Structure formats: structure tokens, C-alpha cells
Amino acid sequence: MGTISLDMIQTAGVGALALVLGMWLTRKVKWLQKFCVPSPVSGGIIFSILTLAIYAWSGLEVSFDGTLKDVFMLAFFTSVGFQSDLKVLKQGGRPLLVMLSLLVVIITLQNAMPIGVTKLMDVDPLVGIAVGSVSMTGGHGTAGGFSSVLEGMGLNGAGTIAMAAATFGLIAGSMLGGPLAEYIIRTKLKSEQLQTQDEDIDPAMAGIESDEASPTGRAKRISSNELEFQQYAKATYFILLVMAGGTLLSWALEKTGITFPTYFGALILAALMRNVMGAMHIKDDSGNLMKADKMLDMERIISVGNICLSLFLGMAMISLKLWELQSLALPLIVMLLSQVAMLALFAYFIAFRWLGKDYDAAVLVAGICGFGLGATPNAMANMSAVCYKYHYSVKPFLIVPIVGAMFADLINTGIITLFLSFFN
């Protein structure tokens, strides 16, 4: 068995190609638009199926370099940190607490239910742990971390089982979140609560100014384009600066012995920078006092972050090893499908109601499906797809990264450890 290895530049190129394909599919296939399936998912799955076919027919494994994928992920979460305005977080305090409560319930159910299935199907209960929150809420990182623990407890092939389940969850979470949120919006929300993305577009951007052909019009456009370039450049520079500082903060946090996501330092540093600058005042070009955070062009920072999210997710999707799912026997398939059904029902009947039964709650449902079955970036992509069709929602994009980065791994590890203690 051989390997076809792509370096980081080639991997980024294939990831970008998957994004372009996904955007084209989204325009052409109406149900992808209707159900808010993210473009990186639709395009990335095509490429992962292609690598599966190569593996099945020739035995060759296509290996992708994940270096730039991690860089794009870090840049995206840095942009999320810049959005963490404490004034907004205070307003979203209750939904944040509700999300934490929902997370505890979801993780507990994700472990209890597959263990129950193993009892019914006469399978080692440790298989239920491997297919539980270890690989669902935990994703590939936690699945890899706990594999050695499960193998040490006597579960042969724990790594293969957990990683395959995490791969399944990544796909299922991406495919479930958008459609479920779309269904909730169509059936449970009133039309006056919504506006389509087109209504958010400045009318001046929809057409061409009447004087554009004149020298004055051309000068205006050149000046506008130069300003736009400077704004995007400044946003990119701020993100890179905080990414660099965030790596130092992450290094310091590692010394505590507590495991944090790699993006945690940059996310926290960006949030601190945003709020410290929000408390400071500086003089503008006219000599008037203004808040220092006005220097941060949040619209462009969000745009750069979303570009990085798309590239990260595209590269992650093309890197999926779908042949790992071949190792799943019937009991594992039953457990995985029951996980998807449980989360869908829980999000629809309980989470949406607890979170307020409004548009924010519907967007959060998409996020819950994303990180409840896959990872926080999938949650963000699900919510972005929903917001692209309707309109932007601030609280979900603040709450989900905080829950995913600060609490999910900690709560998940504690609950997994509790369940494992029953089998020691």
C-alpha cells in the first residue's frame, strides 16, 4: 500500500478547489441552498469520496499536509475573539448559561445511550464509550487522546473505532445543523422575525453609480478601492499580530498542565485586546476623542475570519478518510445513527425551547448540531450558512466559541472520566 503525499501548498490548493466546487454546487443544486449546507462541506465531500475511490481501487492513500489548515483555523478563532465584546456578552448571559446546561445533558446522553445499545446487542460497553462523547462532542482530538486509555482497558482497535466515529460525526454534524435550523425557521418563526440576506445589502452596492464612466466617478472608485484595500490589510495585520501573541499565551497555559485547544490563547488575547481598547480613548485625525476599539474594523475582521474558516473547513473535509467507516460493524452503525437521531430530537424539542424560541435560538441549534457531533468550526460553518440565507446573529457567534473553547473539553473530559470509572 502506497501513499500520495501533498505538501501544504498543494493541500491548500485542493482545499480552495473544493470550496469553488462547493460554491458552484450550492448555486446549481437548490436543496443545498434550501437546507443551508455549507459550501466547504458539499465540495469537500466530493473530494473525500474521490480519495476513497482511489484508496479502494489502487490501495493508495492520499495524504494531505495540515500545516496551513491549522493556521487558517487559528486565524478564524482570532477573528472570533475580536468579536467578544463584554457588553454583548453580558446581554447574552442567560443563553450562555443555558448552553452550558444543554452541553452537560448532551454529553451525558451521548455516553449513556450507546452504552445502553451495547447492553442490548451484547457488545463490549467500552465500544459505547468510544462512540460516545469521546468522538462526538470530543471530535478527532479527544478520540485520539482517549484511544490509548480505552485500549489500556482492553478495547482492541479503540483508535480505529473512535476515529471512524469522529469522522462520521464530522460529516453528520455538518449535514444536520443547517437543514434542522432551516426547518425550525420555516415552521416555528414568524416572517416578521426574519429578513433575507438580500435585504441586508446596501442598495448602492446592487447597481452601478450613474457617473461611474466620468473621470470623477473613476477617481471615486479608485479612492474607494484603495481605502477598501487598506481596511482589509489592517484587519489582516491585527489578526496576524494577535495570532503570534496567542501562541505565547497558549505556551504559558500548557505549563498549567490543563489541556486547552490550540486556538485558545489567540482567542482570549483577541478578546482582551478588543475589550481593553473599548475602555480606552484616543484622538482621531480631527483631534476628537474616540474609543480605541474604533481602530478595529470589525466588518473586515469578520470577513477575513470567514475566509479563513472556509479554507480551514475545505481542507479538513478533503482530508477525511472515509474508508475508516468500513471498520464499523452493524452495532456501531446503530449507535452512530442513534446519536444523530438523539441530538436532532434534543435540539428540536428541548434546546430550541430553552434557548428562547427565536431566531438566535434557531441559529444556535445549527451550532449545537455542529459541535455536538463534530467540532466547533463545523458549528460556526453551520451557523454561517444559516445567517447567509437570512441575517447575521451576534449572540450565537459569541456563545458557541466560548462554550466550545472554554468549557466543552473540560466538561466532556470530566463526564467521560466518570463513565470510565464504572468499568475500572
Q: Are residues 188 and 248 in the same domain?
A: no
Let me know if residue 211 belongs to a domain.
no
Q: What is the dihedral of CA 132, 53, 28, 31, to 10 degrees?
A: -30
- Structure-block grid coordinates of residue 100: 452550558
- Which residue range(s) make up the domain with 259? 216-298
Domain boundary pick from 250, 275, 298: 298
pLDDT tens for the chain, 424 residues long, are 688 999 999 999 999 999 999 999 988 888 777 666 778 878 988 998 999 999 999 989 999 998 998 899 899 888 888 877 777 556 657 888 899 899 999 999 999 999 999 999 888 999 999 999 999 998 877 887 788 888 888 888 888 788 888 888 888 998 899 999 999 999 998 765 565 444 443 333 333 344 444 445 544 454 567 777 888 898 999 999 999 999 999 888 878 876 566 777 888 899 888 888 877 767 666 667 667 767 788 888 989 998 998 898 888 888 888 887 676 678 889 999 999 999 999 999 999 999 999 999 999 999 999 989 987 888 988 999 899 888 888 889 888 988 876 678 778 888 998 898 887 6
Domain boundary pick from 250, 280, 298: 298
Q: Are residues 162 and 231 in the same domain?
A: no
Counting the structural domains of the chain, the total is: 2
Q: Are residues 325 and 294 in the same domain?
A: no
This prediction's pTM = 0.69
Q: Are residues 292 and 332 in the same domain?
A: no
Amino acid letter, residue 251:
W
- In the block, cell 479608485 appears at 222
Let me know if residue 58 belongs to a domain.
yes
Q: Strand 289-291 vs strand 281-283: parallel, antiparallel, or unpaired?
A: antiparallel
Q: Are residues 40 and 167 in the same domain?
A: yes
**Backbone phi, psi, residue 103, to 5°:** -60, -45
pLDDT at 177: 93
Q: Are residues 183 and 45 in the same domain?
A: yes
Let me know if residue 183 belongs to a domain.
yes
- Structure-block grid coordinates of residue 161: 473505532
Q: Are residues 257 and 317 in the same domain?
A: no
Q: Are residues 160 and 308 in the same domain?
A: yes
Domain boundary pick from 298, 326, 356: 298
Chain segment 297-350, per-residue pLDDT in tens: 888 898 999 899 889 888 888 888 888 767 667 888 999 999 999 999 999 999
Let me know if residue 203 belongs to a domain.
no
Let me know if residue 91 belongs to a domain.
yes
Q: Are residues 307 and 395 in the same domain?
A: yes
Let me know if residue 98 belongs to a domain.
yes
Q: Are residues 151 and 20 in the same domain?
A: yes
- Classified as helix, coil or strand, 6 is strand
Q: Are residues 70 and 191 in the same domain?
A: yes
Q: Are residues 75 and 153 in the same domain?
A: yes
pLDDT at 368: 95
Amino acid letter, residue 309:
L
- Classified as helix, coil or strand, 283 is strand
Let me know if residue 416 belongs to a domain.
yes
Instruction: Give the integer Cα–Cα distance in Å for 85 and 100.
Output: 19
Sign of CA dihedral 412, 415, 420, 423: negative
